[in-house]
Chains A and B, each alone.
Chain A
Amino acid sequence: MAQIRIYNQETNTYLSIDFNLQQAISDTTTTGDLDCYLIISTNVPTVTGGTFPRFKVRTLSDVPTGYVAPAANFDQLCQWYYEYITVESQITLSSSSSSSEQYSSSSSSSSECYSSSSSSSSSSSEGYSSSSSSSSSSSEGYSSSSSSSSEGYSSSSSSEEYSSESEGNISSSSTDQI
C-alpha cells in the first residue's frame, strides 16, 4: 500500500491518503471475472466537514474531476488525487495567511503542514516529507511526492474513517466510487 501522510504541526496530527491495491469479483459483470483495482481513500475532511468518497481506479483514465484523462502514469495519477483532495478540502489554506507557503517558508505564524509518502502505513515520518518502504527506515528530506505545496491547515478536524456509501466525483464514466 502506498500512503501520503500530511502532518499538521499546529495540532500535531496526521491526515493521510491511502492507495490500496485490491481484488474482487465485481457484481456488475456477468462473467464473474476477478478484477484488480486501486482504492484511494482519505481521512482528509471536505471543506464542509464531510468525507471524501473512496475512489476506485481501474485505468489511467480514472482521474479526478477537472483533470484531463488519461494520466501519463500512476505517479501522475496519484499526484492528481493528492492535489484534488488537498485543494477540494481547502486543507492548504493557512489560518494566518492565504498565500501559498512552501516547506521552506520562514513564517512562524502560519500552521504549516508537511506531507510524506510511504508504502507502509507504519512508517514513522517526523514532520518533513519522507518516503519509505515497508522497512520503515529511511530517507527523509524535503522532497515530496506531491506536486502542490503543503501549507498550513487551520482545521482541527479529526481523522475520521471513511463512510463507504459517500458519493464522489471522478470524471471518467468508467470509474466507480464506493
Chain B
Amino acid sequence: MAINFNIYSPSNASTKTVVVDFVADYLASNSGVSASTKYFFKFTTSARKTDNSRYDVRIVEALDDLVLDKGVKKQRITNTAAAYTDIKSMIMDYIYDYVQGHDAGEYGTTVTEQLPMKFN
C-alpha cells in the first residue's frame, strides 16, 4: 500500500504530494532488464521543481542507497555517508530532498544542483 506524504506550504497555501510505495517489479535500465523481480521503494510525485521541470522517479533498494549518490554518497539532512538506520529516516531524507533541493557541490564537488519544490 502506497503512502502519500503531503507537504503544505503556508505561504502559498498549497499542498504537494510525494507517493512512496514498496513494490516488486522487474527493473530496466540501459544495461538491460533484471533477470528476476526486485523489491524496492519507489518515490513518485507530480509536483514540479521551481523551474517547472519534473522530478525523476527514485527507487531505493537498500538503506545505504543514500539520496545524494552522484559521485558522493550522502544523506541530505545530516550530510553524512552512513547508511540510514531505518525505513523512516530513509523516507524522510528523500522527501526532504524533494522539497528543499540542494545546491551544486553542497555535499561534494560532484553533487549536481536540484531545485526545490515549486508550491506557487
Residues on A lying within 8 angstroms of B by beta carbon are 1-4, 19-23, 33-38, 57-60, 72-75, 77-78, 117-119, 131-134, 139, 143-145
Contact = CB atoms under 8 A, between A and B. Distances in A.
Given A20-B22, A60-B62, A143-B37, 8 more contacts: A1-B2, A3-B24, A19-B22, A34-B88, A36-B91, A60-B63, A75-B61, A78-B24
Interface string B68-111: 00000000000000000111100100000000000000000000
A2 B22 contact: yes
11 contacts: A36-B91, A37-B87, A73-B61, A74-B41, A75-B40, A118-B24, A131-B24, A131-B36, A131-B37, A132-B25, A133-B25
A75 B63 contact: no
A145 B88 contact: no
A74 B1 contact: no
A21 B22 contact: yes
A35 B85 CA distance: 12
Given A36-B3, A59-B85, A19 B35 contact: no
Contacts of B24: 2-4, 19, 78, 117-119, 131, 145
A59 B36 contact: no
Given A2-B24, A74-B62, A131-B24, A22 B3 contact: yes
B21 A74 contact: no
Contact of A21 (B1, B26, B36, B86): B1
Given A2-B23, A131-B24, A75 B38 contact: yes
B21 A1 contact: yes
B35 A143 contact: yes
B40 A21 contact: no
Given A21-B3, A145-B24, A59 B87 contact: yes
A134 B23 CA distance: 9
A74 B61 contact: yes
Nearest to A138: B26
